Amino acid sequence: MRLLNIKPCIFSLAVIAGIFSSTSFAQQNIGLPTIELKTGIYRIQAELADTPKAREVGLMNRTSMPTNSGMLFIFEQKAGHCFWMNNTKIPLSIAFIADDGKIVNIEEMQAETTNNHCPKAAVRYALEMNKQWFSERLITPGTVVQGLPKK
């Protein structure tokens, strides 16, 4: 009879552990606003990284990201804002975007690396998506991203 009571208890602990691990995923950027962006026929749910702290943390320590979700980095000034993947567990693609919404260039980034990935022109926006998200949809430099917030 005791063994039967232990199994539900172990199951409950496993469920609680799962909740805490998924909670830590969500808490990484808790409270970040989201915005819907569009490019061609595709809609993107993007978390906004528009503060120094949100930009510093970015997508670090996450283990997955839904298919049409990403993170939009917004900077106060146009510049050659470079990115690296230190403490980032998932491979990503990054599109550097001009003020008019046109993609300047797209870079593929490997997880857990410190290589710099930089725009080919000064930009205020960068959009991180799952690796090859852009190439799988034939989205290339010059494609327009709609819905960018104006600061």
Average pLDDT over residues 17-27: 38
Using DSSP's 3-state secondary structure scheme, residue 78 falls into: strand
Residue 3 tokens read as 């063994």
pTM: 0.80
Structural domain contains residue 46: yes
Question: Quick one: pLDDT band at residue 150, thresholds 50, 70, 90?
Answer: confident
Identify whether 53 is part of a domain.
yes
Contact present, 143 and 101 (Cβ < 8 Å): no
Domain contains 86: yes
Whether 43 and 7 map to the same domain: the answer is no
Residue 123: which domain range? 31-136
Backbone angles phi, psi at 41, to 5 degrees: -90, 0
Q: Are residues 26 and 43 in the same domain?
A: no
Residue 48 lies in a domain: yes
Mean pLDDT of 19-28: 39
Q: Report pLDDT digits (tens) over 92-111.
A: 999 999 999 999 999 999 99
Domain assignment present for residue 40? The answer is yes
Residues 64 and 84 in one domain: yes
